[in-house]
């Protein structure tokens, strides 16, 4: 029956660039409109800067603070906050979110984890926890040599 579909819980974990976070948030809104619960995981400052969905939405924002990393400026939580040559340090900080993300997944027990291209490690964490996962390519990237 159409009205008796299973309601899912989904965690979304996009890369720390607004060209990735915004499309993932739009996808989260579409999923939530279908009645599924979505946890959108990002850093505190990025969540503060994202457009807020309507108050009655099934989206909740989960804040995972970035650790302090040498050569990453204070309050740098997205690619827009830093010059291109500092992005590698943002990636190092993002990789350090493996354990906090794992703890969140263990406690929330979602049905699915949707993750972006940078956290290559997210799928294996989900698999070890028995959580289905999907890679979400939210932005097109030119190939670097064929």
In whole angstroms, give the CA distance from residue 141 to residue 126: 25
Dist CA 142 CA 60 (whole Å): 32
Q: Give the C-alpha separation, 57 to 38, whole Å.
A: 9
Is 20 marked active-site?
Answer: yes
Pure H helices in the chain: 18-33, 44-49, 87-95, 98-108, 122-128
Q: Which of 95, 111, 116, 141 is catalytic?
A: 116
In a 10 Å sphere around its CB, with 0-12 CB exposed, 13-18 middle and 19+ buried, how is residue 84 labelled?
exposed
95 labelled catalytic: no
Of residues 20, 81, 85, 141, which has the active-site annotation? 20
Give the single-character DSSP code of 68.
P
Q: Which residues are part of the catalytic machinery? A: 20, 116
């Amino acid at each position: 029956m159409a009205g008796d579909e299973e309601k899912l819980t989904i965690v979304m974990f996009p890369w720390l660039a607004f060209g990735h976070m915004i499309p993932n948030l739009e996808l989260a809104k579409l999923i939530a409109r279908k009645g599924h619960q979505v946890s959108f995981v990002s850093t505190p400052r990025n969540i503060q800067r994202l457009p807020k969905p309507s108050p009655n939405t099934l989206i909740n924002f989960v804040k995972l603070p970035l650790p302090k990393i040498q050569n990453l400026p204070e309050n740098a939580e997205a690619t827009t906050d830093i010059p291109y040559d500092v992005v590698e340090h943002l990636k190092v900080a993002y990789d350090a979110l493996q354990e906090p993300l794992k703890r969140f997944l263990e406690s929330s027990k979602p049905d699915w984890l949707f993750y972006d291209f940078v956290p290559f490690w997210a799928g294996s964490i989900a698999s070890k926890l028995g959580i289905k996962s999907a890679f979400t390519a939210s932005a097109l990237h030119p190939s670097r040599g064929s």
